[in-house]
């Protein structure tokens, strides 16, 4: 028996979820380490068991890692460790991560919403191993089956006329390429995004991104403008019937069932940008289907936006980097929840379960002028990346991942709404499927963002009890719940118990 583990019977939830029929190996923390069971003793549920045995960590010390990180890694890495006590991750399997001390964590952030199917998912891992035995790399100047097979699978999941695929290495690169294609196709230059949005960190996409924390004091992407984000919780307009979500805001709403006054007001703001800030004709609008901080738009906002943009000679780009591949549960793509068909779709993150990859998909008409020049990407369409991404699409279907997102995600949203009603500092709960935001406030009346140090306290406490979540929003005031899409209802209940306890601990300290 592996040292540090005890053999226990596999629970029924694990067998139902396909996590193994044999005995479960349950971690006991090594002597001298922080005991999760001590900080978790007040929880109403225990951490679900796991049937995976991590290897004993035998690498460099934590002190060595920190020293090298400080001396040899770029300065930004020192700012994004997330925790006061940094987390040293060693190994992962499905929804679980282990640190170098052997502590186990439920991953409810998925490497920034990137590990779509689960860490080291067996089917995806097998596909990577098999491809590595045949061909690691060849450029697109040669024809190899992996690109063609993946492109055919991908476009089969998109509506007409989205049938032309460009493979990239990241979401930033995909959005960069989409903007270039929009300008070439339309002959126009100006692009519009939402305030608070994030679309990448390259010099070009930095202009599309509308959030000070990602900006540097240098010129970035001329011709990029932004309009008011239609945030029905924090914005000036919004009510209790605005969203396509199992959970609405607690704001009152006097709208009739078929009319959203908030949508009308936010569309007026877009019209104002058209009248004051851009030429009569524009290149494009670029929208996530949920904006930064997982802000959900009022019903019909995207549809009305697309109509106005096309009247101005522009095309519509859907950024599906986070909302694609079934994460919202009800649909495979986020834009489908808004009943629209974009002209270009960009994607990355979960496309290859964490392997570096992105894509742009568009129509033959929009692709045509782009082909008049030469665009070459050395690693775009890499055989290993395509093999992995193909296995991801297969596993989403075979494992019924989209259905799991709908069931577990809806359960999470409804239970989180109860915590919103319980705690004054929980202002808003929003999202669809396993794409969820919890916005924190000083109090519900003011809706002022909860200060950063308070957010850090709650985040740290949650981590110490065995759960990892993310942060987002303009002020870093929103907790992001975007786990690997294999999480179970039992996992969700454990997270809810931990989060409840962390909120309770914070309010008690105050």
Domain that holds residue 419: 5-107+401-509
- Residues pairing with 96 in the sheet: 93, 106
What are the residues whose beta carbons fall under 8 Å from the beta carbon of 310, sequence distance 6 or more? 316
Decide if 478 is inside a domain.
yes
Decide if 349 is inside a domain.
no
What b-and-e string marks burial along 347-379, b requiring 16 or more CB atoms within 10 Å of the CB? bbbbbbbbbebbbbbbbeebbeebeeeeeeeee
Instruction: Extract the runs of DSSP E, i.e. beta strands, from 51-200.
Output: 89-93, 96-99, 104-107, 164-168, 191-194
Contact (Cβ atoms closer than 8 angstroms) between residue 21 and residue 37: no
Decide if 333 is inside a domain.
no
End-to-end CA distance of the chain: 46
Decide if 433 is inside a domain.
yes
Mean pLDDT (10-residue bins), the chain, 510 residues: 32 36 35 57 84 93 90 74 88 97 97 96 97 92 92 98 96 96 96 93 89 86 91 91 89 79 94 96 90 87 96 97 96 95 97 97 96 88 96 98 98 98 97 97 96 96 97 94 98 98 94
Decide if 95 is inside a domain.
yes
Q: Which two tokens stand for residue 254?
A: 């006097």
What span, in angstroms and rounded, lies between the C-alpha atoms of 274 and 313? 12
What span, in angstroms and rounded, lies between the C-alpha atoms of 212 and 324? 26
What are the residues whose beta carbons fall under 8 Å from the beta carbon of 238, sequence distance 6 or more? 231, 232, 249, 251, 253, 262, 298
CA dihedral 133, 114, 398, 98 (to 10 degrees): 80
pLDDT at 36: 62
What span, in angstroms and rounded, lies between the C-alpha atoms of 32 and 50? 23
Decide if 20 is inside a domain.
yes
Cα–Cα distance list, 447 to 250, 429, 451 (Å): 12, 13, 12
What span, in angstroms and rounded, lies between the C-alpha atoms of 26 and 104? 9
Q: What is the CATH number of the domain that holds 499?
A: 3.90.1150.10
Integer-rounded Cα radius of gyration of the chain = 23
Q: Please identify which residue in the block is written with the tokens 């290897």.
A: 55
pLDDT at 39: 66
Q: Please identify which residue in the block is written with the tokens 């009308």.
A: 264
For residue 427, the SS3 value is strand
Closest Cα to residue 400, out of 408, 411, 390?
A: 408
What span, in angstroms and rounded, lies between the C-alpha atoms of 317 and 343? 6
What span, in angstroms and rounded, lies between the C-alpha atoms of 153 and 123? 17
Decide if 426 is inside a domain.
yes
Decide if 85 is inside a domain.
yes
pTM: predicted TM-score of the whole model, two decimal places: 0.90
Q: Which two tokens stand for residue 439?
A: 């916005």
What span, in angstroms and rounded, lies between the C-alpha atoms of 3 and 205? 49
Task: Report the alpha-carbon angle 265-433-356, nearest 5.
Answer: 100
Strand order in the sheet with 89-93: 89-93, 96-99, 104-107, 467-468
DSSP 321-339: TTTTTTTTSS-SSGGGGGT
Q: Which two tokens stand for residue 216?
A: 């540097």
Tally of structural domains, the chain: 1
Cα–Cα distance list, 254 to 115, 246, 428, 444, 451 (Å): 41, 19, 19, 20, 32
């Amino acid at each position: 028996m592996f040292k540090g583990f005890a053999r226990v019977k596999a629970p029924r939830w694990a067998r139902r979820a396909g996590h193994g029929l044999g005995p479960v190996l349950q971690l006991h923390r090594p002597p001298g380490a922080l005991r999760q069971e001590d900080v978790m003793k007040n929880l109403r549920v225990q951490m679900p068991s796991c049937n995976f045995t991590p290897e004993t960590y035998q690498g460099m010390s934590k002190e060595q890692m920190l020293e090298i990180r400080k001396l040899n890694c770029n300065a930004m890495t020192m700012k994004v460790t997330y925790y006061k006590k940094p987390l040293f991750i060693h190994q992962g399997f499905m929804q679980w991560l282990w640190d170098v001390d052997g502590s186990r964590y439920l991953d409810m952030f998925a490497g920034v919403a990137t590990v779509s199917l689960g860490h080291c998912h067996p089917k995806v891992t097998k596909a990577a191993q098999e491809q590595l035995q045949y061909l690691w790399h060849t450029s697109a100047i040669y024809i190899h089956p992996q690109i063609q097979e993946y492109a055919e699978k991908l476009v089969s999941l998109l509506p007409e006329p989205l049938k032309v695929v460009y493979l990239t290495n990241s979401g930033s690169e995909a959005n960069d390429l989409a903007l270039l294609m929009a300008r070439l196709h339309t002959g126009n230059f100006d692009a519009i995004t939402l305030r608070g949005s994030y679309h990448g960190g390259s010099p070009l996409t930095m202009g599309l991104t509308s959030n000070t924390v990602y900006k540097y004091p240098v010129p970035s992407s001329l011709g990029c403008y932004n309009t008011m984000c239609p945030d029905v919780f924090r914005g000036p307009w919004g009510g209790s019937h605005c969203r396509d979500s199992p959970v609405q805001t607690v704001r009152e709403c006097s709208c009739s069932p078929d009319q959203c006054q908030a949508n009308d007001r936010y569309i007026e703001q877009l019209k104002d940008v058209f009248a004051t800030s851009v030429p009569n004709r524009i290149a494009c609008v670029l929208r996530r289907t949920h904006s930064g901080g997982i802000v959900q738009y009022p019903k019909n906002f995207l549809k009305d936006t697309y109509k106005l943009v096309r009247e101005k000679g522009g095309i519509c780009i859907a950024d599906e980097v986070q909302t694609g591949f079934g994460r919202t549960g009800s649909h495979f793509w986020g834009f489908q929840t808004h009943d629209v068909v974009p002209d270009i779709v960009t994607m990355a993150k979960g496309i290859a379960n964490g392997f570096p990859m992105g894509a742009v998909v568009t129509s033959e008409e929009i692709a045509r002028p782009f082909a008049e020049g030469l665009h070459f990407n050395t690693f775009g369409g890499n055989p290993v990346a395509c093999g992995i991404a193909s296995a991801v699409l297969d596993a989403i279907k075979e494992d019924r991942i989209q259905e799991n997102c709908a069931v577990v995600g809806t359960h999470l949203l409804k239970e989180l709404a109860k915590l919103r009603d319980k705690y004054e500092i929980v202002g808003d709960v929003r999202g669809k499927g396993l794409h969820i935001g919890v916005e924190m406030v000083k109090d519900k009346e003011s809706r002022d963002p909860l200060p950063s140090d308070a957010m850090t306290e709650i985040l740290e406490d949650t981590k110490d009890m065995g759960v990892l979540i993310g942060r987002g929003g303009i002020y870093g005031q929103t907790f992001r719940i975007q786990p690997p899409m294999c999480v179970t209802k039992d996992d969700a209940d454990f997270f809810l118990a931990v989060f409840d306890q962390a909120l309770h601990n914070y309010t008690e300290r105050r």
